[in-house]
Structures are given as C-alpha cells and as structure tokens.
Amino acid sequence: MQTDPTQTEPLTRAARSGHTEPGIQKSLIVFGVLLAALAATGLYNYLLFHTIAELVAISIAIAVFIVAWNARTMRENGYLLVVGTGLLFVAGIELIHTLAYDGMGIFVGYDANLPTQLWIASRYLLAGTLLAAPLVLRRNPGPRWVVTAFAGVTGFLLLSIFVVPVFPDCYIVGSGLTPFKVWSEYVIAVLLALGAVAVYRLRDVFSPWVASHLVAAVLVMIASELAFTLYISVYGLSNMVGHLLMVLSFGLIYVAFVETGIRQPYAVLFTGLKTSEERLRREKDRLGQYLDIAGALFVVLDPDGRVALINRRASEVLGYPADAVVGEPWVERFIPPAERERSRALFLGLMRGDVGANEHVRTPVLTADGGERIIAWHNAVLRDNNGAVCGTLSSGEDITERQHAEEALQQANAKLNLLAGITRHDILNQINVARAYIDFAGEDSENPGVQACLARSRAAVDEIQKQIEFSRDYQDMGVKEPAWQRPEDLVGESASDLALPAGVGMRADFADLEVYADPMVKKVFYNLIDNAVRHGGRVTEIRFSYRRAGQDLTILCEDDGSGIPDGEKKAIFRETYRRRYGHGLFLVSGILGITGIAIRETGVYGEGARFEITVPNGGYRFGDEREAGI
C-alpha cells in the first residue's frame, strides 16, 4: 500500500507531538457533560442511571471492535485486534449484566447475586484482555484464533454461572459483598495495573497521545474497581461512583482508539510507524553509505530512461552534484551524440529483458567540463513484485586511462610487429642467400670433410628458418581479444588445410559447442591433427569429442597411433622439446593458457595419443545458451 507523505506527515506529526485535535477536545467535553448528566440521572432513578452507564460502555466497546476488526489486515495491529475483540465479548457479558440487574425483572428467580457475578466475570475478562494485548503486540495473531479464544473463555464463564453454577457467590442479600467479590476486585485491580505497566513499557510503539490515554483509562478502571469494593447495596453511592469512573475509563478508550483512529489513523493502526520509519531511514542511509564508499559507478534508470539514483563516484566522474543528475534523461544529457543511438537501443533492449548481448559494454559519457570519460558498464534489469521490468541498474568502472594505455600499447605492438615482420623478411632473404651459397660450395667441392661441414651449415640454416617462422606465429598470440569460436568449424578448416592422406579418417562431435579462446586457437587443432598424422605412426582415425567434468568441460583429441611414452607426456609441451614435435605443442599450450584453458596428454603408449583440453566454467557455452544470452 502506498501513501502520500504530504498527507500522512501532518497526521503522524500531530500524533507524536501530543497536541490534541479540536475534534478530540470536543469529545472530551461531551464525555464531561455526559458524566454530569449521568450523575444527575442517578439521583433521580438509579436503575435508569445504571442502564445508561452500561449501554454507553457497551457502545464504546463495540465501536472499538469495529475499528479493530476493519483494521485486522494491517501488519502491526496485534494489540488493537486483541483489545477490540476482547471488548466485544466484555460488552456481551455486560449487556447480560445490565438486563439481569436487580429491578429489571428480566431474569426471573435470580437475585442481586447474578448481576454481580456477571460483573466480576466481565471485569476478569477485561483485565485479562488489557494484560494479554501487550504480550502479542509484535506477534500479530490471526483474527480467527483471537475470536475463538475469547469465545471459549466467555462461553466458559457463562456456563459456570447459568448452566453449571460453580462460579462463587459475589453478593448475598442482606449481607452485601462476599469476600470472593471483594478480593476479586483487588485481583482485577492488580491485573489492570500490570496491563498499564506493560503499555507504558511499550510506549515507544504507540503515539504519545494513544499511550497516555490508554494508561489513564487503565488507572481510572483501577479506581473504579476499588470503589466497587466498598458498597453494601447495589444502589449505593460507592456503586454509582464506580460506574461513573467506569464510563470515564471507557471514554478515554474511545478517544484513544475510536476518535484517534478516525482522525489520526496512523497513530492507532500503525503502532510501529515511528520505529519503522527510523529503521527504514537507517537502512536507506546505510545503503547510501555503501554505494558512496564503493569505487564503482552506480546509476539506476527508470522506465523512461531518466536517472532515479546515482552514487557519489558516478557524480564525481560526471562532475555534477547528485541532485542535479537525478531526474535527467541519461542518454540525451550524458552520452555523446555519436553514441546516443547505440545507447538508446541498448536501454530499450534491457527494458525488453534482452540483457544477454549487451550485458557488458563500453560507453563514453559527457562530463560537466565538456570532456568524455570511457566507462565499462555491467547492466542488469530491475523488476517489480510482479516480475515486470521497472528500470535498469548499471555498475561501471572508469577505464579512460586504461583504454588510452591499451590503445598506446596496441600501437606500440603494431609498430613492433611491423619491425619484426620487416626484420624477419630480411633474415629469411639472407637465409635463402646463405642456402644458395652452401649449395654452390657443395657443387664445387668433392672433399668429404667440406661436404660434412656444408651439411651441418645447411642444417643450422634450416633450424634458423624454423625459429624465425615460429616467432611469426608466437608474436601474434594474445594480440587480439579472445572471442567465442566453434571447435567443430576449426577442426573442419584445419583438416581441409592439411589435406589428410588417404586412409586417415576424421570424426568430430561437438554439437553446438563454443569456447572462449584466443583467435589463434585454430592452430591448436591444426597442430594436434598435424602431429597425429606426422608422428603418430600408422594412424587411421583421429577423433574429437567432449564431456562434462564437474562444472568444467573437457575436449578430447584421440588417435589410434603409437602414442607418446610416459616419460615424455609433460615434456612435449615445453619450449625445449623439439626432437619429435618441434614448437607446435609449446605454441598450443601458450594459446590455450591465455584464457585459462589447460591441456595434457593422457593416452596409453602403444594404443594411441589422447589429448585432454580442460575448458573452465564460463569459458564454454552451447547454442541454446547463446540464444538466451548466457
């Protein structure tokens, strides 16, 4: 339920300040006049006085029940529900007490003991209600359980008086009050006092106005009970004083619950409003502190694309105070013109719930001094209680300096690669020249010693050429950003480039698998296939497949060749191991390691090689996950 703070604030402020509303002042005046009129009525006809006094108390009790019952769905309403329901059943017993009073002539065969018993029964129920209500203030009992409990207690009291007369005598004609009746009044007074103490101890959850009137009502009830211990005749003066005090106590209850409940409902129905507001304010302040302490930027946009919340870090980056940013259209105000169309499309996609493709983006923002800062955003959608998208939450990191450094590094790498490429080209040209001269020298000399030296020179030149060619592949590794790639396509392309010899079959079962790896990952599959063909012996089949390994995924490359000896399984991935496989597997390990992928050889020597490529969780996905934006 939503409320207008401009409307509730005057109500809660008046309830907390303790000032009396003009309407409540009139109610107090009316009760003062009523008490005077009742006193005058008692001098004229006591039976009329008693009937009117009881009916006033009964009417107030029913009014309190109506307020409580209609507010039973309120969350913090346990006290009001118990008091209202208890007063309803108290009113029922008091109505029977009024009809049974001596002189009414309705209950034939009963004397003044019956109304006195009913009175004590109703007082016990009232005192128990006012004592029990504070105990369930924070428990919010169900309305059905409350009604059932009071109905059971009331039924038991009436049965003990009318059906199974075990209720002790309270008044004996000619003798007056019995000791049970007198001591019961004292016990009831003590119970009422305990109820007043309980309300006073919990006064912080009531408005001051309601708490003070509740305590005053209970104190007046105690005085009323003490007055009822003094009379001898049911028409005596002390009995009349007790009833006047009873009416006054119910009048105070009326002002606390009924009058205040109508004029200041937040003071009665939301007894914990002050505590809740303070708790909410503390939580809001704490959340604000967390967001301000965080080094990341936080921006919340409403469904219209306007800023609903911004933290201190985002405010500092933009160069505007937070209150100047809230309410502004984000794209139109803080995104450079060249990026607005893309940012607007991103926001609309997020509002449609399509966050997969645009969950992480880099976007420049305009600052107060006219400059731009580059922010890496992580975007998410906010949903209401019905699950509908109601806004977006973006957390960002200012990567302006890092972006510039990356661009500078890319330019430096490009220059180094250009220089390395030119140098490598010149060295390869000189290698071709050296090889030609070696060949010429071999043709001009038949000396075995010279021919041996030339052969070694030719082998050294060939090794130099291999090293230069390897450096060309190695320098490209990690230059470009990793990307999602399909192993099935990479295997097919590698097999096509290698032109597998006749008799060697290829099988790949990857379904719609994709891995997040360096763009050079194709060389991984190229080298694995090439090594199997060239060094695997009589290989007839090369198989690629995958399997789950917990949260990770393992890609398998198996062949039916000779395999790799156990003593060389780890050495084949080292840079110094070239005798059989050259630099290929060292390069494979490096390419995979860029994105945290590991490779090892687990085959059985003599039965074939088996390479296991372990892709960590988050580094692989399938087609259905890609479509869902995972």
Question: Among 351-355, 386-390, 580-584, 608-612, whose mean pLDDT is lowest?
Answer: 580-584
Can you tell me the mean pLDDT for 503-515? 89
> In the structure encoding, which two tokens stand for residue 411, read together?
């330019």
Give the pLDDT of residue 557. 93
| Global pTM exceeds 0.75 | no
- Return the C-alpha torsion angle 137, 142, 148, 153, nearest 10: -10
Answer whether 76's CB lies under 8 Å from 204's CB: no
Among the ranges 13-27, 146-160, 262-276, which has the highest mean pLDDT value?
A: 146-160
- The reported pLDDT for the residue numbered 275 is 58
Dihedral of the alpha carbons of 363, 369, 370, 375, in degrees to the nearest 10: -10
Q: Which pLDDT tens digit goes with each residue over 313-355?
A: 888 888 888 888 888 999 998 999 988 998 888 888 888 876 5
Which residues, including other chains, have CB under 8 Å from residue 563's CB and lie 6 or more apart? 536, 603, 604, 605, 606, 607, 608, 609, 610
In this prediction, residue 159 carries a pLDDT of 95
Lowest-pLDDT range, 139-148, 355-364, 372-381? Answer: 355-364
Pairing of strands 176-177, 171-172: antiparallel
Question: Domain 483-627: which CATH class?
Answer: alpha beta
Chain centroid to CA 145: 32
More confident residue, 513 or 3: 513
Query: What phi and psi values does residue 618 have, to the nearest 5 degrees?
Result: 95, -15
- 21 pLDDT exceeds 60? no
Q: Angle at the Cα of 139 (from 135 to 144), degrees rounded to 5?
A: 100
**d(Cα 381, Cα 353) in Å, to the nearest integer?**
7
Are the C-beta atoms of 296 and 395 separated by less than 8 Å?
Answer: yes
Residue whose tokens read 């719609």: 512
177 vs 90: which has the higher pLDDT: 90
What's the pLDDT score for residue 17?
A: 42
More confident position, 424 or 338: 338
Residue 77: predicted pLDDT: 60
pLDDT given at position 151? 94
Is 50 exceeded by the pLDDT of residue 197?
yes
The encoded tokens of residue 119 equal 């009175």
What percent of the chain has a predicted confidence (pLDDT) above 70?
77
Q: What secondary structure does DSSP assign to 31-67, as a single string? A: HHHHHHHHHHHHHH-HHHHHHHHHHHHHHHHHHHHHH
| pLDDT score recorded for residue 370 | 83
Name the more confident of 44 and 346: 346
The percent of residues in the chain predicted with pLDDT above 90, rounded, is: 15
Helix (H, G, I), strand (E, B) or coil at 539: coil
pLDDT tops 70 at residue 181: yes
The confidence score (pLDDT) of residue 559 equals: 92
Better-scored residue on pLDDT, 449 or 197: 197
CATH number of 294-398: 3.30.450.20
Does residue 357 or residue 156 have the better pLDDT?
156
Mean pLDDT of the chain: 79
Q: For residue range 93-135, list pLDDT tens digits in order.
A: 999 988 988 888 888 888 889 998 998 999 999 999 988 888 8
Report pLDDT digits (tens) over 247-294. Answer: 888 888 887 776 555 555 444 444 455 555 666 667 666 666 666 666
| Model confidence band, residue 458 (pLDDT cutoffs 50, 70, 90) | confident
What confidence tier does 553 reach under pLDDT thresholds 50, 70, 90? Answer: very high
DSSP string, 387-413: S-EEEEEEEEEE-HHHHHHHHHHHHHH
- Structurally, at CATH architecture level, domain 46-274 sits in Up-down Bundle (1.20)
